[in-house]
């Protein structure tokens, strides 16, 4: 049962957006998916509450910032949305359970600084040797200088860059309906699905 953890100590980098989309991808493949939300804001849990009954099912289980437990039997794929400032024993618990960690990152010097420290902490963790780590650029406008700086930064990390997701209202509108780019007609989100191709390939490895 693979567990994909979405983690970055910096708040507002797009963890919940990424977590819900990953869960939506797994559901689109017919997997029994559970989406856990350890963030006190409970954005992913709120999103699940908006998800229509006709959409492919995504379940949840009781998980919070103070107690991260294994999901119940019958689950085939798990996605865990984590809080900003993840550290200490909670950080260790998450790393012990994770098979893959996706680190979302925006084109901000503050985000890059916080992410560098988080990745250093991750590299020093004794449980991290078995975990695959990948980077996803969030809300990236390829026409900007900040986008160029982000690409320079991630290329210096010696970690796989799974993809860069553009800054689009598609994610905002879909989130308001409890949906993902994998739940609607591909023609409506063709550009976004193309950007997800590398991420999905990595998730399927």
What is the reported pLDDT for 4? 95
What is the reported pLDDT for 149? 86
Task: Give dist(CA 204, CA 148) in Å, integer.
Answer: 29
Strands (E), the chain: 3-6, 33-37, 58-59, 77-81, 100-105, 132-140, 161-166
Q: Are the C-beta atoms of residues 50 and 178 closer than 8 Å to each other?
A: yes
What is the reported pLDDT for 64? 54
What is the reported pLDDT for 69? 59
pLDDT per residue of the chain (205 residues) written in tens, 0 to 9: 889 999 988 888 899 999 999 999 999 999 999 998 776 777 888 999 999 999 999 998 766 545 555 666 788 999 998 877 665 556 777 778 889 999 999 888 888 888 888 888 888 876 667 889 999 999 888 888 888 888 888 888 888 999 999 999 999 999 999 999 999 999 999 999 999 999 999 999 9
What is the reported pLDDT for 126? 66
Q: What's the pTM value of the predicted model, to 2 decimals?
A: 0.90
Q: Which domains does the chain have, with CATH numbers?
A: 3-204 (3.40.50.300)
What is the reported pLDDT for 27? 97
């Amino acid at each position: 049962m693979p567990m994909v953890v979405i983690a970055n100590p910096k708040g507002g980098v797009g963890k919940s957006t990424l977590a819900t989309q990953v869960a939506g991808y797994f559901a689109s493949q017919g997997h029994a998916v559970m989406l856990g939300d350890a963030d006190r804001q409970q954005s992913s849990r709120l999103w699940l509450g908006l998800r229509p009954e006709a959409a492919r099912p995504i379940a949840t289980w009781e998980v919070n910032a103070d107690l991260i437990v294994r999901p119940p039997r019958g689950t085939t794929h798990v996605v865990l949305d984590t809080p900003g400032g993840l550290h200490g024993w909670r950080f260790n618990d998450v790393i012990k359970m994770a098979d893959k960690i996706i680190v979302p990152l925006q084109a901000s010097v503050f985000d890059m600084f916080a992410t560098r420290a988080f990745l250093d902490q991750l590299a020093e963790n004794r449980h991290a040797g078995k975990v695959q780590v990948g980077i996803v650029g969030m809300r990236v406008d390829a026409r900007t200088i900040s986008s160029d700086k982000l690409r320079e930064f991630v290329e210096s990390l010696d970690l796989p860059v799974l993809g860069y997701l553009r800054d689009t209202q598609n994610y905002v509108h879909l989130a308001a309906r409890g949906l993902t780019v994998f739940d609607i007609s591909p023609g409506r989100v063709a550009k976004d699905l193309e950007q997800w191709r590398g991420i999905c390939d990595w998730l399927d490895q």
